[in-house]
Structure 1
């Protein structure tokens, strides 16, 4: 039986199955990257709902795992060398899980780096831009009289969708025939942009061909369907 008592986060969110990977998350576009990944690779895990609306990420217990106060984060009792490993940042977690299991990341070095560049494209560009567009279009930012911020993020989000559209021309997935962590990282964000953020018209989503077809393929995957609901909101 793994001993996770040295990690303060387990005092607030106790591990019922300490031998399993512990996921601390909420079903946001960033959070579901890891739950989808875990469902895809079939690694046993235990999910803990972190109520971001109640500021649970700013509690001392959560900050002990991620000092940046953001979900998702994991605690793997069977990390490198058989020792527990705490990890935050969704991109880093995806790479770690892919390398741990040998799944969803090409073994060929050139293809591996090409996959990672598209993962970082999501992390550095798509996530921040889509998130800002959501804020200025749907949330408190919509009340701002100055519409220049909204237009900036709208234009950039539309441009990024165009980059993705061009990449998917003639491809089922970002890397061609193989579904990888690059697809997995992007699915939740594109889905959120046109769904929860209600920004499809703003970014002229209907003008795209390859992105909607790719998104439909991704959302049809059983592991994606399960991961989008993990951990439960309640």
Structure 2
């Protein structure tokens, strides 16, 4: 029996999720009102003014949109066609027949091929899981380096208040980037785990169906 394995074309889902992420961030900036209390408004303005936080935010939203598209396609009965298959890159599929004379060998080849394509589909999410905290760490290093560099002016400069504010601003920059990276990596990791579990279940179901049908047909 010939089975179809979901494909792993990355161009469509990467481009589509990038555009959707930019649109979501843009609409959120226009539609969500600024909080009235001064502390929250100051925090949001500070985060928006931090380029590392903006980069982390875009990568995080892009990864979540990419994962949701893959989740949508994985939940479909057939991933071979339709809008979900086109957007996710799973459409089209790859046909697998395998050696009919050796069921164990055929099953092993089927699992290897399925896992190879699943790993490729999950690669963008795996990349995001690593890059989000790394961007936060890079921003932290830059912020702490600036704070240490400005620390000498606290004692050397006559205007110690301004110098101290500069040090505190650099430390806020450092901790804001760490906070953003760690907060966004949590839902991305959760979505990645969910997708992996769904894909394992789909693989086992396809494998069982393939060889149960072969046993019934006597092949």
Q: Taking structure 2 as the reference length, what is the TM-score of the superposition?
A: 0.34
Q: Bigger relative contact order, structure 1 or 2, given CA contacts below 8 A and separation 6+? A: 2
TM-score by length of 1: 0.32
Higher normalized helix content (fraction of residues): 2
Structure whose CA Rg is larger: 2
Higher strand share: 1
